[in-house]
Structure 1
């Protein structure tokens, strides 16, 4: 028997016992996966196991909205203030913020031994409106169960906004539907996007798991315990949110399916590749467990640039361009952590068929006169971090609060901006070889090859990686140390590293935390060996190559010129016996840019020995240290990069030693070039 490593459910166990009861049970079988390759998987019977729980609840939230913390608090409150038992389990992906979180909560009068996830719940809470289009939440509701939706729409208008498929399921299950505008309450109470307090109160009020005002009192006590160290004002804001939550809950009567309501949209666009529409889309919808074995790539390779199909729609507000104030500085583009704001310079002819809502300006730069400047947001990929607005230097003189880019409601602008962005993406790219200089303005006209990553909203690391791909992406090799950058850089099922129109892009790999520097050094040595081999072959076939081309290939050249020379070389070697290997490997003549990337936990601490060794050599490698002055990926422990006196999440008493000066240490070798950069200062 082979049991899959995913969370087993009672159906799997029952399938095994059913097979063992057969007259001739299979000697080998799998369970819990749909194996349509070896056909050894067992069919799963219907789960008839009674839950035995007083209440089973599912909460669908967004990483950093407080849903997981709220459920953990609910468990503590129920366990401490009632005679019942409570159990919790939390499912989330590698995104620490902005990803789907599913919290499972069981309450029972008896000890809970259910070591599996909830499949059918008495209560389902949808904490983010955009989830209603993506995930099968209503389908996981028991007949007569409660479905709570956080939405900006009122009880009178929300039914028409629900997809027809959701309406049908709610009717079929005879569900009790309730709505609340938790985001509005959180904003009014000064809690930003933290809706956990509001949704907690709504859960207790609707389920009546605690009688009368007991839930309010318990929640007030939990809030005081959690936030009193941060000031009484924060405690009172959360108390205010509790009161408003009870007043703001509204019931929605079920109605027949509205034929004018939208259908649930496909998870990814029809323009996506077939693999993305089948495998990636299923995983994005939370249905990856149902994929058959045959759907997965036999060699484990996955396509690049798949984040472009994800369209998470997690921002409440997105930046809208006020072009008459714009200075065309491109600071907003440089600061965007998710490559969700793009700028292009195109000919006036390219804008002739543009949508009327897509604006452009005459280019102010002298070296691009006569062209049009276009700035556009990706409305479905923006995370609403507001960094673009913060760095924008252009203000309205009459009203300084108005800038050249301002945050506005996504729901009000998304449809128009989607059309604009689709047109924008099809505008011609700038020829980087024609740029007279590379600076903060011109670099942001180059298409990034790192886009829409799963990093936290407002991430301070990703703009630097994005900039690297704009400068060197078509010939980059990246050795990425384990940490935040490896998580959002090599995420499954979607990856942000992509290719340009010619199919060129970064080659990326992740090794262990402690040996990334050595791993990247191996890249350099391998590339050098490969290039040396091609140069030997080049000399071997010198008689078949024009003399001027042979000489040019031995001289220095820009990547663009070298690629033209490689094309000429391949043309010259057509039909030459024995030259097949040189023709195949000729791309090695284009100089590769080797980058070792990692955080301060790698560079200052765990991988420092390897880093020091690599830099003591004279090999041509580049190192980017994403110095956040603490261990970001594991939650906030102090590193040797943490400054004296600094407080981190797991170092509340402050750092008692001075920060290591990595740059000065490496400068002592005499041949290491050291630089420090802060994009924020560009504004």
Structure 2
């Protein structure tokens, strides 16, 4: 239990104006504002000031109500939710569907409202569209109230992952900001749902986090294989249909995992009365028949620099791991040192005169393997693309890499404008949004997709809006101008290269594929990698 009470103002929901788009929930760095859908009669004992209205979504059953509620003692007052709100009152354009108000008169009332909000039952996840922002934001977060900075650009990605997959996540977390706010013991921001399920989290060193997470995957796969072997040995006692379903379950999507949980519950009931000599051996490992979602999380200092060798090693293998790189483009936790993710011309520790070399293109390097799902995201610029990427990455039965643009206080602007800066980074060409999906190549389609438009803003607009670039114009004006001109050329060339990759024609049906440079597939030989045919397991280790 840890209530900081640091916000001077908190967001207040205007239920009459709200369209229930969910954007305020998506961008909240601390899960302090959240949505929940429920049957109307569930709120019959609600406090008088508790707000709830009929759900506008036609995807939800008739009679469903929805509430957007703030945790007043956990909110940091960053204001990002208000900035994200797209709805304006036509009679007063400064007023939105979420507005900041002084916390003093509201604290006691909203504390009671939030306490009641938490008693509402979690809505049936099978009735919610997980692929939409309004739908996915009704899902309960299993990462909440961390000690991250107000307006943090990293934490919304982690919270999103827990909303979608948290009840089955195994997380290997590299040292850095995400390990500090992720494991600031004795409290922890990772939590469980009503069924007691939540992410299992552990922190490793800077240099070996990718291998640490790979070990989690290998252990989970080995335990699953062992459990399946025991099920097959006891198939006659358990019932052939149940045994076959347990062993061959399709668990790539959540519906399949829910079904497998039901089978495992039935299996345990049978094992409790079984006289088979191996029944007591199977019982402790039966839970591992349910597929785990393994996530390897860390910052750019880990992924681009100190842990890059291990990261590359894991990407080169065919195992089913999801790698999330929270790219702040600098060593944030240790005070703002330059990393290989730091862009050209940015001022940081050890680059007082501006970084003289370009940012490493981690996504492009990873796509060279051909068998890795790769994407770059920025939730403040294109939230639907971010949501789609998380779903696609987790559903892919091989290694995936998500490189997430993460605004940071080290960039030198008010974090209230976190989302504005993400959008500017994309529109200027500094951060193109791309996806590389090997599954498309298997069907003969181009696996590379460019999800952002051609730059519509000069890179100068982006760089001058952040102190990490702008300060160089005062200390080293000639170098600043040189870097600015080079950055503009780089942005144009980078987009042109990506555009060429995205416009490559799909191969004629029947032709083989070979991995070409920078993730471009060219006709020729057969594809070298085919993810594991059996869902829920990783492919065998290559010879």
| Alignment TM-score, normalising by the size of structure 1 | 0.54
Corresponding position of 1:339: 31
Verify the 8 A CA contact 2:76 2:150 in the aligned structure 1. Answer: yes
State how far apart, in whole Å, the 2-side matches of 1:436 and 1:611 are. Answer: 33
Corresponding position of 2:262: 564
Q: 1:677 aligns with which of 374, 377, 389?
A: 377
Q: 1:363 aligns with which of 49, 55, 64?
A: 55
Provide the secondary structure at the position in 2 that maps to 1:350: helix
Q: Are 1:620 and 2:320 matched, yes or no?
A: yes
Verify the 8 A CA contact 2:231 2:247 in the aligned structure 1. Answer: no
Bigger relative contact order, structure 1 or 2 (CA pairs below 8 A, ≥6 apart) = 2
Corresponding position of 1:586: 286
State how far apart, in whole Å, the 1-side matches of 2:182 and 2:351 are. Answer: 27
- Structure 1 runs of 4+ aligned residues shifted over 4 Å read none
Per the TM alignment, residue 436 of structure 1 is displaced from its structure 2 partner at its CA by 3.9
Corresponding position of 2:177: 484
Q: 1:515 aligns with which of 205, 208, 215?
A: 208
Kindly provide the CA deviation profile for residues 164-194 of structure 1, in whole angstroms up to 9, marking residues without a partner as x. xxxxxxxxxxxxxxxxxxxxxxxxxxxxxxx
Q: Are 1:532 and 2:225 matched, yes or no?
A: yes
Corresponding position of 2:428: none
Per the TM alignment, residue 441 of structure 1 is displaced from its structure 2 partner at its CA by 1.5
Change (3 A) 1:348 1:587: same
Corresponding position of 2:470: none
State how far apart, in whole Å, the 1-side matches of 2:264 and 2:224 are. Answer: 13
Corresponding position of 2:421: none
Corresponding position of 1:639: 339
Provide the secondary structure at the position in 2 that maps to 1:325: coil
State how far apart, in whole Å, the 1-side matches of 2:380 and 2:215 are. Answer: 33
Q: 2:145 aligns with which of 447, 452, 471?
A: 452
Q: Are 1:656 and 2:348 matched, yes or no?
A: no
Change (3 A) 1:679 1:666: same
Structure possessing the higher radius of gyration over alpha carbons: 1
Per the TM alignment, residue 581 of structure 1 is displaced from its structure 2 partner at its CA by 1.9
State how far apart, in whole Å, the 2-side matches of 1:387 and 1:650 are. Answer: 31
State how far apart, in whole Å, the 2-side matches of 1:650 and 1:355 are. Answer: 55
Kindly provide the CA deviation profile for residues 237-276 of structure 1, in whole angstroms up to 9, marking residues without a partner as x. xxxxxxxxxxxxxxxxxxxxxxxxxxxxxxxxxxxxxxxx
Kindly provide the CA deviation profile for residues 553-573 of structure 1, in whole angstroms up to 9, marking residues without a partner as x. 122141111100001111122
Verify the 8 A CA contact 2:29 2:152 in the aligned structure 1. Answer: yes
Q: Are 1:330 and 2:22 matched, yes or no?
A: yes
Q: 1:319 aligns with which of 2, 8, 11?
A: 11
Verify the 8 A CA contact 1:433 1:560 in the aligned structure 2. Answer: no
Per the TM alignment, residue 650 of structure 1 is displaced from its structure 2 partner at its CA by 5.3
Verify the 8 A CA contact 1:527 1:588 in the aligned structure 2. Answer: yes
Verify the 8 A CA contact 2:129 2:135 in the aligned structure 1. Answer: no
Provide the secondary structure at the position in 2 that maps to 1:588: helix
State how far apart, in whole Å, the 2-side matches of 1:381 and 1:501 are. Answer: 20
Verify the 8 A CA contact 2:129 2:136 in the aligned structure 1. Answer: no
Q: Are 1:430 and 2:430 matched, yes or no?
A: no
For structure 1, list consecutive stretches of 5 or more residues without a partner in the other structure.
1-308
Per the TM alignment, residue 645 of structure 1 is displaced from its structure 2 partner at its CA by 1.1
Q: 1:553 aligns with which of 246, 270, 279?
A: 246
Q: Are 1:393 and 2:93 matched, yes or no?
A: no
Kindly provide the CA deviation profile for residues 480-520 of structure 1, in whole angstroms up to 9, marking residues without a partner as x. 00000000111122111111111111111111100101111
Per the TM alignment, residue 435 of structure 1 is displaced from its structure 2 partner at its CA by 2.1
Per the TM alignment, residue 652 of structure 1 is displaced from its structure 2 partner at its CA by 3.1
State how far apart, in whole Å, the 2-side matches of 1:411 and 1:580 are. Answer: 58
State how far apart, in whole Å, the 1-side matches of 2:196 and 2:360 are. Answer: 41
State how far apart, in whole Å, the 2-side matches of 1:643 and 1:517 are. Answer: 24
Verify the 8 A CA contact 1:320 1:406 in the aligned structure 2. Answer: yes
State how far apart, in whole Å, the 2-side matches of 1:641 and 1:595 are. Answer: 21
Verify the 8 A CA contact 2:210 2:311 in the aligned structure 1. Answer: yes
Corresponding position of 1:575: 273
Provide the secondary structure at the position in 2 that maps to 1:671: coil
Corresponding position of 1:148: none
Verify the 8 A CA contact 2:30 2:146 in the aligned structure 1. Answer: yes
User: RMSD between aligned alpha carbons?
Assistant: 1.2
Verify the 8 A CA contact 1:320 1:408 in the aligned structure 2. Answer: yes
Corresponding position of 2:46: 354
Corresponding position of 2:535: none
Per the TM alignment, residue 575 of structure 1 is displaced from its structure 2 partner at its CA by 2.2
